[in-house]
Amino acid sequence: MSTAVAATTWQESVFRGLKKAGVRQVAYVPDAGHAHAIQQAKDDPEIRDVVLTTEEEGVALVCGAWLGGDRAVLLMQSSGVGNCVNMFSLLESCRFPFLTIVTMRGEYAEFNPWQGPMGRATQRALELMGVTVMRVEDPDEVEATISAAADSVFLAGERVAVLLGQKMIGRKKWEQD
């Protein structure tokens, strides 16, 4: 049975783009920005969803999926990129294709000062580790960007991160009871 997660256009586009790309495994640490794609993956019998304890496990999972003949994606928040830097050496050393979709924090109207440093360093950290970055700020460009990233990864063997800008995702707020 499906648990409904209200989705915006860009959230629908994320999952639709992954399905069209033939992704069969979705690895993630729970994140509100990815909640719709995570729920869609859980509800889809053709996709294996794998909850992680830390994002770096997802790097290894995506590599293992490729070795096993599956296409996989790592869904994470920008703060998780910092947890993966050492594991990104696996991608370069073994030339594994790699796709990650990253919801950004530490940008537009960020209320949590702990999110700022990694939010500002996310793109540079990925690029320093050999990952090509595609950034999306317009909801109408999400699906096309994910499609382009998936082609680069699954057809050309590249390593690509799609960063979904915080302004597009929406303001984060502490919930008050």
Whole-angstrom distance, CA of residue 83 vs CA of residue 102 = 13
pLDDT for residue 107: 76
The SS3 call for residue 168 is: helix
Predicted TM-score (pTM) of the model is 0.91
> Residue 154 to residues 22, 50, 129, 145: CA-CA distances in angstroms?
9, 20, 19, 14
CB contact set of 80 (below 8 Å; sequence gap of 6+): 29, 54, 55, 102
Closest-CA residue to 59 (of 148, 130, 115, 107):
130
DSSP-derived secondary structure for 25-89: EEEE---GGGHHHHHHHHH-TT-EEEE-SSHHHHHHHHHHHHHTT-EEEEEEEHHHHHHHTTTHH
Q: State the alpha helices, DSSP H only, in 95-174.
A: 116-128, 142-154, 166-169
Domain ranges of the chain: 9-167
pLDDT tens by residue, the chain, 177 residues = 344 444 578 999 999 999 999 999 999 999 889 999 999 999 999 999 999 999 999 999 999 999 999 999 999 999 999 999 999 999 999 999 999 999 987 676 666 767 767 878 899 999 999 999 999 999 999 999 999 999 999 999 999 999 999 888 876 665 655
Query: Which stretch of DSSP H or E encloses residue 91?
Result: helix 88-94
What is the topology classification, in CATH, of domain 9-167? Rossmann fold (3.40.50)
